[in-house]
């Protein structure tokens, strides 16, 4: 089975070919980070324009690298949401055009289902499993009883983890996207600054990062007003510690409560060194739970993960018509 995956939900134009649901044959990503950097974040209009310019080239490159023709493809999997609507539409329309012209079945994929299925490119899934999804727009604990079935047992009530990283980075005058810069700084500092941890109600698997973000900003401003200097690496380390502690503790609790066989890390923040290390330390000693962490290239946005999710949805009989639309508010549980 050969799947062409297409992803354009945010600021990466991506296409990939995967075989039998698990084998990456090609995985092409054109990043727009350089174009958005000077604005300190993704500018939707610029993102759409870049997708239009890059989409055809990226798809052709994915086919060339895989040495595959359109006629070899069994299905096209495309991100239908969530994301920036103008960005999603470019990928969806490219997918529909190819599907129509070559008579290839089309499957719509939820972007977060893709992030979770990036793990299946590393290791076969075993159910029930728990996925910790930490990305630019999402922070969720997702329980899966079987392929293609997603239950959100906890989610952020305000900022996503990646969003908090990017905002804190901006306060420290670090370039966009700030997550990797905070991660690097944190390795050089000491977590010596007291910052809050949002545990929320007893037993809740929800998250909250806006209080922590405000605490970081206030700490900096207060120090500035007193004419004191705070070492940015210590602030980064303290912030990162707070984020990681809450994510790790809640993930371990949920894994135990639901007796899962695997824990999968997913989303752009899964690239975080501190988080990878903390989760590994927690789960290495546990015999009945296996922790899977994708390599960095599969954590951030790519189309191989969309093809991987699309592969199982295709097998389950999911199909989209030529009326498929970009859906910025698509719910994971409706997948």
Residue 288 annotated as binding? Answer: no
Q: Which of 63, 301, 306, 309 binds ligand ATP (CB under 6 A)?
A: 301
| Terminal Cα distance for the chain, rounded | 21
Cα 92 to Cα 76, 113, 208, 216, 323: the distances in Å are 10, 16, 32, 39, 10
Residue 72 annotated as binding? Answer: no
Q: Is 301 in the site for Mg ion (CB under 5 A)?
A: yes
Q: Which of 191, 268, 294, 310 binds ligand ATP (CB under 6 A)?
A: 268
Which of 230, 288, 300, 297 has its CA nearest to residue 260? 288
- Rounded CA-CA distance 310/121 in Å is 13
Which region, judged by CB under 5 A, interacts with Fe ion, from 72-80, 96-104, 117-125, 299-307? 299-307
Q: Kindly identify the residues of this chain, within the stretch 108-137, that bind ligand ATP according to CB under 6 A.
A: 111, 115, 135-137
Residue 86 or residue 148: which is nearer to Mg ion going by CB?
Answer: 86
Residue 189 annotated as binding? Answer: no
Q: Which of 21, 177, 189, 326 binds ligand ATP (CB under 6 A)?
A: 177
Residue 301 or residue 324: which is nearer to ligand ATP going by CB?
Answer: 301
142-157: b or e for each residue (b if 16 or more CB lie within 10 Å)? bbbeebbebebbbbbe
Q: Is 183 in the site for ligand ATP (CB under 6 A)?
A: yes
Residue 21 or residue 81: which is nearer to ligand ATP going by CB?
Answer: 81
Residues 240 and 132 sit within 8 Å (Cβ to Cβ): no
Which of 266, 311, 264 has its CA nearest to residue 147? 311
Q: 3-class DSSP state for residue 299?
A: helix
Q: Is 135 in the site for Fe ion (CB under 5 A)?
A: yes
Q: Kindly identify the residues of this chain, within the stretch 9-28, that bind Mg ion according to CB under 5 A.
A: 10-11
Strands 12-19 and 23-31: antiparallel
Which region, judged by CB under 5 A, interacts with Mg ion, from 121-129, 166-174, 182-190, 296-304? 296-304
Residues that bind Mg ion (CB under 5 A): 10-11, 301
Per the annotation, binding residues for Fe cation are 111, 115, 301
Residues that bind Fe ion (CB under 5 A): 135, 301
């Amino acid at each position: 089975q050969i799947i062409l995956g297409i992803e354009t939900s945010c600021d990466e134009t991506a296409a990939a070919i995967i075989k039998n649901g698990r084998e990456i044959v090609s995985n092409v990503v054109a990043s727009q980070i350089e174009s958005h950097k000077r604005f300190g974040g993704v500018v939707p209009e610029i993102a759409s324009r870049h997708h239009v310019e890059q989409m055809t080239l990226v798809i052709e490159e994915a086919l060339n690298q895989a040495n595959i023709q359109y006629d070899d493809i069994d299905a096209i999997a495309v991100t239908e949401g969530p994301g920036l609507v103008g960005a999603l539409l470019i990928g969806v329309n490219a997918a529909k055009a190819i599907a129509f012209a070559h008579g290839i079945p089309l499957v719509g994929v939820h972007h977060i289902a893709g992030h979770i299925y990036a793990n299946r490119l590393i290791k076969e899934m075993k159910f029930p499993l728990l996925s910790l999804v930490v990305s630019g727009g999402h922070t969720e604990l997702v329980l899966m009883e079987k392929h293609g079935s997603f239950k959100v047992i906890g989610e952020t009530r305000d900022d996503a983890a990646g969003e908090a990283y990017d905002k804190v980075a901006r306060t420290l005058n670090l370039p966009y996207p700030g997550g990797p810069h905070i991660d690097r700084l944190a390795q050089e500092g000491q977590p010596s600054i007291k910052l809050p941890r949002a545990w929320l109600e007893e037993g809740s698997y929800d998250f909250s990062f806006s209080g922590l973000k405000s605490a970081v900003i206030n700490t900096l401003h207060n120090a500035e007003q007193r004419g004191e200097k705070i070492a940015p690496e210590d602030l980064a380390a303290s912030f990162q510690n707070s984020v990681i502690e809450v994510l790790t503790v809640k993930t371990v609790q949920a894994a135990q409560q639901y007796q899962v066989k695997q824990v999968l890390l997913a989303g752009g923040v899964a690239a975080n060194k501190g988080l990878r290390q903390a989760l590994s330390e927690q789960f290495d000693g546990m015999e009945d739970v296996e922790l899977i962490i994708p390599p960095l290239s599969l954590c951030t946005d790519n189309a191989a993960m969309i093809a991987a999710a699309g592969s199982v949805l295709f097998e389950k009989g999911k199909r989209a018509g030529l009326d498929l639309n970009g859906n910025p508010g698509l719910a994971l549980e409706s997948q």
